[in-house]
Amino acid sequence: MAMAERQSAHRERLETRVVNGNVANQTRGSYFAFIIMLVAILCGSYLIHEGRNAAGLTSIVVAVGGMVGVFFYSKIEQKKEREDKASDLSARRRP
């Protein structure tokens, strides 16, 4: 019985580490995305200030469009994953 308890505690520690690692990676990714967006917008603003309107506007639009695209893509993937899990769960419940 003690061996099963130790194994259960070990599994819980591993799962906690995995979850915490995933949260840290997602947070770090958000910070990097913010920095990249900020740099692209600042560079685009500088280009517009220097009279290169097309290049500056393109820089800003591409940066914002890319982030919006990534956001919507991740939402669609999350929805698919939830639907897959729900269908798997409902399939398991049926005899």
Neighbours of 41 (CB within 10 A): 15
pLDDT at residue 23 in the model: 93
Q: What percent of the chain has pLDDT over 70?
A: 98
Average pLDDT over residues 50-61: 93
Note down the domain range covering 85: 2-93
Average pLDDT over residues 19-36: 92
pTM (global) more than 0.85: no
How many domains does the structure of the chain reveal?
Answer: 1
Token pair belonging to 67 = 């982030």
How far apart are the two ends of the chain, measured CA to CA in Å? 32
pLDDT over threshold 70, residue 94: no
